[in-house]
Amino acid sequence: MYAYAGDLTLAGGTRNLIPYIATAQPPGHDGPAAAPPIPPSGSGMASNAWAVGGERSASGHGMVMANPHFPWYGEARLWECHLVLPGQLDVYGTSLIGTPGVQIGFNRHVGWAHTFSVGNRFTVYKLELLPGEPTSTAMGTRSARWSARP
């Protein structure tokens, strides 16, 4: 369950680089192998959440509204849950299936939400190799040397 929750956490970011890391090739006799193109990031899932302060609501109380765009079916689906420990806990909301707790929800005192967007989670840079040195790069006026050897 912990591995699954960790994998879901990386769904909008670095998990998308796994195929490129797994197929990376060291420089050969003809220089570095051409890198495959990286497709636009994002899986099409996103969400919204809004909060309204008490000074702006008719009731005088704050409000939170969650609008997750996750599916209600498949691996990344949300499940509706109501957790009750009489006299200690009464929480209602949703969670990603297979993960503990209530990730979007409320109790009698507070409501909470989170958002998920298709924005960039990382930036890919192309480093220019120094001529004749396939494991060295030019960075501004300095050069950086790296090695895959321990």
82 burial level (CB within 10 Å; 0-12, 13-18, 19+): exposed
Q: Residue type at 56?
A: R
Whether 57 is catalytic: no
| Dist. CA 41–CA 122, nearest whole Å | 10
Query: Which of 30, 32, 44, 35 shows the shortest CA–CA distance to 17?
Result: 35
Tokens 């299936």 correspond to what residue?
Answer: 97
Question: Residue 94: in which H helix or E strand, if any?
Answer: strand 89-96
| Dist. CA 128–CA 134, nearest whole Å | 10
Neighbours of 30 (CB within 10 A): 6
Residue from 41, 43, 47, 95 carrying the catalytic annotation: 47
SS3 121: coil
- So which residues are the catalytic ones? 47
